[in-house]
Structure 1
Amino acid sequence: MLKTILITGAGSGFGESVALDLGKIGHNVIAAAQNWPQVTQLREKVARLGLNTVRVEKLDLLDVYDVAHALRWDFDILLNNAGIGEGGPIAEIPLALVRHNFELNVFAPLQLTQQVVKQWIHAGKRAKVVFVSSVAGLFSPPGFSAYSATKHAIEAMAEAMRQEMQPFGIQVQTINPGAFLTGFNEAMAENAFRWLDDNVNFTKSDALREMYKGLLGKPEGRLDPSEMIARMVEIVPADGGKFRNVVPPFMEEYLKDHQAKMWDLRIE
């Protein structure tokens, strides 16, 4: 059954690719990009592909007028995909950056979701909310914990919301991508070096770069995004499925093992 799907953060990365691929198989997609250059670029791409199933709109989640405008759109599925990542050691990262990361990754999508589900409930509409979380929502690698904390928050919200929305016929699920090579993780790592100062910080730049290289330089840190895009195209419009969707499968096994080990982890 074809759906109407609002995708936030559709101006680049997974959001853009998933929007186009869902449109290609007939779903009606509202691809919401953060700024006008992204909107223009994506509208041109949609026109070249001849996709009359994809409508591109501007939606900056931190712009109250954009959000008010978006609440007038009619859709069956909300894919909360927009997000940013701040890198750096949690003991030293400026709190303003952590707050901003939470503002965009947690508070803004929560505010939009609250308003959307309220409208759905008043209309008696059966619908679905999908949160793009991360494998980082289930563990916290060094150097990425500010971002990871926002995704842990998403996991907590989605878990409770799934139960809260059941009486109203509204489904809730998460999608948890691994380290796919979209440029997002690399940009998040580089973000740290705009504030890290070897003359001020006890974490030194060379050591942090080596740590990031160890995390992102391996094959499992540079996965082919096409796998994730294909799975999102399957998961998002489906009427059923798993609540939590970790991709690729080997990361699901890693996370289960990691979480089990955390129960016995000792400090010495």
Structure 2
Amino acid sequence: MSNKKTILITGAGSGFGEGAAYGFAKLGHKVIAGVQISPQVTAMRKKVEELGLQNNIEVFKLDILDKYDINVALKYDIDILFSNAGIGESGPVFEIPVELVRKNYETNVFAPLELTQQFVTKWINAGKGGKVVFTSSMGGLFTPSGYGIYVSTKHALEAVAEALADELKPYNIKVQTINPGAYLTGFNETMAENAFRWLDDKKNFTKRADMKANFDSLLGTPQGRLDPTEMIDAIIKIVPSDTGKFRNVVPRFVEDMLKEHQLKAWENII
């Protein structure tokens, strides 16, 4: 692949996806920015013009659960699929409604896998290489209480990505994961709020006040409210690169914590 890439981003309407889109474009890459809902299209197109990046960024509606949006996405000739779209459900695993679990897996695992399969098929049929980068999470490598369902989708995504990375080597298609720490994009805070849509002190064993205290203990500290600029800067370097680590945890102290956690897991006692 050349130094200048065509990169399709899912979930480009906010957070890491939006920041990365502008960063890629400023470096001269061609960005196909897929956003979930129509109002995001208008808002992002306006910002693209304000930044003078209209020659490098094309914004379109891409709900990864909408087959018609997917058909539009597949018409683009891209070098890199940055599979970034995702949602998060929170709350105790032993009480969360299973319909919400299914929804979380549909968005975070099944839809990204299906889109990846379709682009991979295009690349292989065309005899060209390519690259897929998944936005996973630090939660893809450990499981904090209250976030079990969301992080289980990222555990699944880690397994999918690892298998794909090995399977696609013969076709010159590369696979990576991005594993952000607890950056303050609004995603984690919104995910925490989702549990209170259904948690009911009259019905559930887990009380709302206890759940809130648990979330506050994780997200109310400086380590839970990191500046997302650091992660976006890392993404801008990692995604277009022709080489690099398979798994990319940022910041470094989170990588060190995860390694320590995984070692200790061998000694856990029930």
**Which TM-score band applies after superposition, normalised by the shorter structure?**
over 0.9
Say if 2:172 is the partner of 1:169.
yes
* Structure-1 residue corresponding to 2:261: 258
Deviations 1:79-122 (A, max 9, x none): 00000000101110100001000000000010000000000001
Counterpart-to-counterpart distance in 1, 2:27 and 2:121: 29
* Structure-1 residue corresponding to 2:82: 79
Say which SS state the counterpart of residue 168 (structure 2) adopts: helix
Mapping 1:154-233, distance limit 5 Å: 154-233=157-236
Gaps of 5+ in 2: none
Counterpart-to-counterpart distance in 2, 1:210 and 1:109: 33
Deviations 1:1-45 (A, max 9, x none): 110000000011110110011101110000100111001100111
* Structure-1 residue corresponding to 2:33: 31
Which amino acid in 2 is paired with 1:113? T
* Structure-2 residue corresponding to 1:95: 98
* Structure-2 residue corresponding to 1:11: 13
Counterpart-to-counterpart distance in 1, 2:120 and 2:42: 29
Partner residue of 1:243 out of 239, 242, 246: 246
Partner residue of 1:66 out of 62, 65, 69: 69
Partner residue of 2:154 out of 151, 156, 160: 151
Say if 2:16 is the partner of 1:20.
no
Counterpart-to-counterpart distance in 1, 2:150 and 2:76: 30
State the 1:57 CA deviation: 1.0
Counterpart-to-counterpart distance in 2, 1:58 and 1:249: 34
State the 1:225 CA deviation: 0.4
Counterpart-to-counterpart distance in 1, 2:220 and 2:72: 42
Counterpart-to-counterpart distance in 2, 1:246 and 1:172: 15
* Structure-2 residue corresponding to 1:45: 47
Which amino acid in 2 is paired with 1:46? V
Which amino acid in 2 is paired with 1:26? G
Counterpart-to-counterpart distance in 2, 1:11 and 1:226: 16
State the 1:65 CA deviation: 0.8
Gaps of 5+ in 1: none
State the 1:135 CA deviation: 0.4
Say which SS state the counterpart of residue 61 (structure 1) adopts: coil
State the 1:49 CA deviation: 1.1
State the 1:175 CA deviation: 0.4
